[in-house]
Structure 1
Amino acid sequence: MEFTAIDYSIFAGLLVLSSGVGLFYALSGQRQRTPQEFLLAGRSMACLPVALSLLATFQSAVAVLGVPAEVFRFGTEYWFLGCSYLLGLLIPAHVFIPVFYRLRITSAYEYLELRFNKTVRVFGTVTFIFQMVIYMGVVLYAPALALNAVTGFDLWSAVLTMGLVCTLYTTLGGLKAVIWTDVFQTLVMLAGQVAVIVVGARRVGGMGRVWRLAEREGRISGIDLDPDPFERHTFWTLAVGGVFMMLSLYGVNQAQVQRYLSARSEREAKLSCYAVFPCQQIVLCLSCLTGLVMFAYDREHPLAATHRPGSSDQLVLYFVMDVLRDLPGLPGLFVACLFSGCLSTISSAFNSLATVTMQDLVLPHCPGLSESRVTLLSKLLALGYGLLCLGMAYVSSMLGPVLQAAFSIFGMVGGPLLGLFCLGMFFPCANPTGAVVGLLAGLAMAFWLGIGALLSSMGGAGGAPPANGTALPPAANLTAVLGTTLLPPTPAPPSPTGLQKFYRLSYMWYSAHNSTTVILVGLLVSLLTGPTPPAAVDPRTIYPVLPRLLCCLPRKYRQRLRWGGGPAQDADAVVKSNGVPNGLAPPGRQEEEEGQGYIRAAGTPAYAVQETSF
């Protein structure tokens, strides 16, 4: 189970081509000399590359290693997650994208200042940075550890090489390089998965035999309509709870919002969201089919006991190295597929972290910086976060069991951020105090639930892990923890009550639970401290839910449902007769300023939209 020279060549080719894309965009065109070019790709991207980049950003090792192992062990129940993709992508396309794009912002957290104030913006930014810094080191270290355990590939050579290559092309090429390398890496991911499915199915006797074997062994799951939220995976858990998880990723996460904003028009941004839907379904199908082929192959050609993987995150790699051992180059292609997912994720993290740090933390305190200085600082920030990623990977290797809690933070933080944006967009009465208190309450609830489930699973509260599988596996099982999808349904104490029952909530409901906490607490505090008056709300920051839901009513009644009423407060009237969004410069001046790298600064009062140069 070792690489050949051909395998190493294919893996090296992935790294060379990824670096080449960054060098190309660093040495051609505008050479990333302006903030618009470096952070938003000059707002010039077409929908297809944006869609593939959206797809690649959060695939990482979860789709390549996690989902096949889940299907191998527990069957195809996880496949129903695909039902959540429709609403999980339609809502961002028709709610979040129009609001973000028409405000002409660079960081998603600029919206929070326009809607609330600077304090809320800083709270949102710091929460996002905390989330991504922890996640990006882990997403680099986990697959390298699995690869080292299976193939003997040197662990730290892999970590350092991947981290440095990714830092190189992100720092030099900016968002445009990140998006185009995501496109290339997505194609490599798909090619690697297809190769494994085709070769594995042929060695078993075809996909028909794979399906029959899986069906005979009970791995083809039916629709489980049990509404119990404490069951780990049911149709409702995956199809409904998954919608909130998708919204936290594709609706308000800066890494994705930045891609929407890089599109050359709002229509292209929406089309990119539509295009992600079939791509997501294809990736999910390939991952699930890989799991079924693994299961059938294991029944036909079981591994010797001495070769059995020690943890579930190694299942796919053991299968690949066994089924492709006689085909030089294909193991290298699959490893390139695995690390393509990791590269796309951490490069997106570097770029989005550099953006929010510059836009939300540096520029508000240093408004007089020149364009060239802002661009240079943005590149240095991307470089700094790249080096921090390598440091986090090293820390990940040292933390042991404590690392299990760190992995859960990514999922725990996404829900409260979703709730904060929903509070601002859908509830005009919410005030800044309610937003801050609501976010803190959501984070407290998220950490309470996540850490409580962790301690319970480790025997700290009753000695038995929750039955739903939100318990985290052993420390070596890093990829499983990353995706929280590979967790075995171990027996639970009979009839758990109180907090033990609470800790058994399915991880798929975490985002919905935590975002709802933010909204309810935020609204309550806003009403107690005095709701935001209608005149103080910028209508461009509000999505008019009631008028849209009651669109059959006469216009005058729908108008009364708007916060503040009156044509001036009509949130639909974001485009004037000249086709320019409210508050923006006339077309000629707007294009001229964008070409020079001007980015609108979020300012107060709510209606005042400044045009400011770096």
Structure 2
Amino acid sequence: FAVGDYVVFCICLLLSLLIGIYYAITGGRQATTDEFLMANRKMSAAPVSVSLFVTIMSAITVLGVPAEVFQHGTSYWMFGFSYFLFTPIVAHCFIPVFYDMKITSVYEYLERRYSKIVRLCGVVSFILMMIVYMGVVLYAPSLAINAVTGLNVWISVVGLCLVCTIYTVCGGLKAVIWTDVFQVGPVIMVLAQIIVIAIGCNKLGGISKVFQIAFDAGKLAPINFDPSPFEAHTFWSLCIGGSFLCMSIYGVNQASVQRFLCCKTKLQAQISIYLNLPLLHLVMFIGCSIGLLIYSQYRCDNPLHYDTKPDQLLLYYVMNVLGEYPGIPGLFIACLFCASLRWTISSSFNSLATVTMTDIIRPHFKMADRRATIISKTLVCGYALLCLCMTLIASQMPSVLKAALSILGIMGGPMLSLFLLGIYCRHINHKGALAGFMVSMVLVFWVGFGSIVFRVNNQTQGKPPFSFIIQLLQQMTVDIICLFILVSSVDVYTGINIIYKLSYMWYSGFSFLISLLISTVVSLCTGKF
């Protein structure tokens, strides 16, 4: 890093803090839970849409998509087809239901539709999912700053977490949304990546040269219509399976739904999701383009050591190819850090505090609104500490993109099933819903985490049993996984082990089908409602 790089980077973090402080001393000064958690329900479509957009535009996307395209070609771009499917479903099926109920937590719907125990299951699943997910995404920019500056990973992790905690506690949801708006601006997000593409293409002789090199190497993958669910990236897995995944992210996840619920009107909320459609496709195009650009530069399988994580490829490219341009590395690293001040940290902190206060604390303890606001801010600090702990596990993950999407599919799929069945299957009662949720959660855990354990076990033949798994999961989740998984020692996907080859894009869809079957059977056996 040169002086200019540090200046760009520090200005970015400073402005984020100032936004939080501004909303702490203006308006209602975040003195009520409605203002702190819901921005007084007076937000318009534009800032909410931008905030939703950066939910996807995380450090995982910035680092993971180029690495995926570099390694396996452009097959991942078919994920963009799912955007056309899930967007109208969320806009016209989920948003009207939640908005008309005037709820604060999306899991209030589960109690009204089913029972308190179903609501509690949804809340606990969401909290666990977001804590794990936070660790994965927080690690990505910390790895970046370590790679380019030599700064200790854990110093950057703590620093990033501290900045997010301060402006979230001070400014509430307003600060979260308006910080997203600032950070997604051309200087910080899109422009940083476009500059990388422009300079990189110019050094290689133009964009046509980049695509020609990629075409000759077979990196421009055609649409794959293979119906097999065991192929990672096909049209069906990315389009249909991806739609279920996106619905679990946008349609029923508190971090996203909370933004819809803070809009002035239902129409504004629906417009906000439609405004996301072109933005999401822009993200996909930029990510794929950078991946092809990196491959065209090196024209090899891996310019780094083979034991280096592929997520570092983009960082390596920026520092070694574009490092001669003052300020470019600083701008790009600022882009990564801004991406992590998103759903993973600021948005997650706020949504986790919301569901904990609304679904767990307030139903059992009566308190004044001022005290509830103070407790909500304290919860933000508590979840920040948990986020730091989960980063230990994330540091052992082989790929941030697949790790994050797998977590969202494994834990978000069963939750999506509760809402879809509740809205569209009136014959499902609370007993059936609870049974379907539990069974689908166990099975998708078995398939999802089992595939990780199975693969790692076969890659570490001759080593002490589970030694790498214990390192991988930092002893915190091994015991849970072992309750459901018996890992085979064979090195091929044969027999029952073929289930471990199921594409991670199908996890949400798989859990929905299981939940639909179990919930229907149990509901018919126990009677309607």
- TM-score scaled by structure 2? 0.90
Q: Following TM superposition, by how much is the alpha carbon of 1:184 offset from its aligned partner in structure 2, in angstroms? A: 1.6
1:79-106 deviation line (CA, Å, top 9, x unaligned): 1110110111110000000000000000
Distance 2:170 2:30 in 1: 8
Distance 2:214 2:90 in 1: 36
Q: Following TM superposition, by how much is the alpha carbon of 1:393 offset from its aligned partner in structure 2, in angstroms? A: 2.5
- TM-score scaled by structure 1? 0.78
Distance 1:203 1:246 in 2: 37
2:19 corresponds, among 10, 18, 21, to 21
Match of 2:367 in 1: 369
Distance 1:324 1:28 in 2: 42
Match of 1:424 in 2: 422
Identity across the alignment (%): 47
Q: Is the contact between residue 33 and residue 369 of structure 2 (CA under 8 Å) also seen in structure 1?
A: yes
Q: Following TM superposition, by how much is the alpha carbon of 1:232 offset from its aligned partner in structure 2, in angstroms? A: 1.2
Letter in 2 for 1:364: P
Are 1:273 and 2:278 counterparts?
Answer: no
Partner of 1:383, secondary structure, is: helix
Letter in 2 for 1:528: C
Letter in 2 for 1:220: L
Q: Following TM superposition, by how much is the alpha carbon of 1:391 offset from its aligned partner in structure 2, in angstroms? A: 3.1
2:317 corresponds, among 310, 316, 319, to 319
User: Residues 224-263 of structure 1 correspond to what in structure 2 (within 5 A)?
Assistant: 224-263=224-263
Partner of 1:209, secondary structure, is: helix
Task: Report how many residues are paired.
Answer: 501
Letter in 2 for 1:111: Y
Q: Following TM superposition, by how much is the alpha carbon of 1:303 offset from its aligned partner in structure 2, in angstroms? A: 12
Match of 1:208 in 2: 208
Distance 2:13 2:430 in 1: 46
Distance 1:57 1:372 in 2: 29
Distance 1:157 1:462 in 2: 31
- Greater mean deviation of Cα atoms: 179-188 or 22-31: 179-188
Match of 2:528 in 1: 531
Q: Following TM superposition, by how much is the alpha carbon of 1:518 offset from its aligned partner in structure 2, in angstroms? A: 1.6
Letter in 2 for 1:125: V
Match of 1:499 in 2: 496
Distance 1:461-1:217 versus aligned 2 partners, 3 A rule: closer
1:427-465 deviation line (CA, Å, top 9, x unaligned): 1121111111111111101111012212221235997xx
Distance 2:207 2:64 in 1: 21
Partner of 1:310, secondary structure, is: coil
Letter in 1 for 2:24: A
Distance 1:461-1:137 versus aligned 2 partners, 3 A rule: closer
Question: Which has the larger share of helix?
Answer: 2
Distance 2:402 2:305 in 1: 30
1:487-535 deviation line (CA, Å, top 9, x unaligned): xxxxx967x4432211111111111001221222112111111112xxx
User: Residues 162-241 of structure 1 correspond to what in structure 2 (within 5 A)?
Assistant: 162-187=160-185, 188-241=188-241
Letter in 2 for 1:91: I
Q: Following TM superposition, by how much is the alpha carbon of 1:304 offset from its aligned partner in structure 2, in angstroms? A: 11
1:522 corresponds, among 510, 519, 523, to 519
Partner of 1:127, secondary structure, is: helix
Match of 1:63 in 2: 61
Letter in 1 for 2:505: M
Letter in 2 for 1:232: A
Distance 1:269-1:400 versus aligned 2 partners, 3 A rule: closer
Distance 1:122 1:39 in 2: 20
Distance 2:302 2:451 in 1: 35
Question: What do you get for the CA RMSD once the two structures are aligned?
Answer: 2.5
User: Residues 348-363 of structure 1 correspond to what in structure 2 (within 5 A)?
Assistant: 348-363=347-362
User: Residues 303-452 of structure 1 correspond to what in structure 2 (within 5 A)?
Assistant: 310-345=308-343, 346-366=345-365, 368-394=366-392, 396=394, 408-452=406-450
User: Residues 72-151 of structure 1 correspond to what in structure 2 (within 5 A)?
Assistant: 72-151=70-149
User: Residues 600-611 of structure 1 correspond to what in structure 2 (within 5 A)?
Assistant: none
Partner of 2:229, secondary structure, is: coil
Distance 2:2 2:164 in 1: 24
Distance 1:86 1:50 in 2: 19
Distance 1:417 1:381 in 2: 23
Letter in 2 for 1:412: I
Q: Is the contact between residue 191 and residue 337 of structure 1 (CA under 8 Å) also seen in structure 2?
A: no
Match of 2:295 in 1: 295
Q: Is the contact between residue 25 and residue 32 of structure 1 (CA under 8 Å) also seen in structure 2?
A: yes
- Greater mean deviation of Cα atoms: 151-160 or 19-28: 151-160
Higher RCO, 1 or 2 (CA under 8 Å, sep at least 6)?
Answer: 2
Larger radius of gyration: 1
Distance 1:217-1:357 versus aligned 2 partners, 3 A rule: same
1:108-166 deviation line (CA, Å, top 9, x unaligned): 00000111111111111011001111221232123312432454132122111100000
Q: Is the contact between residue 185 and residue 344 of structure 1 (CA under 8 Å) also seen in structure 2?
A: no
Partner of 1:459, secondary structure, is: helix
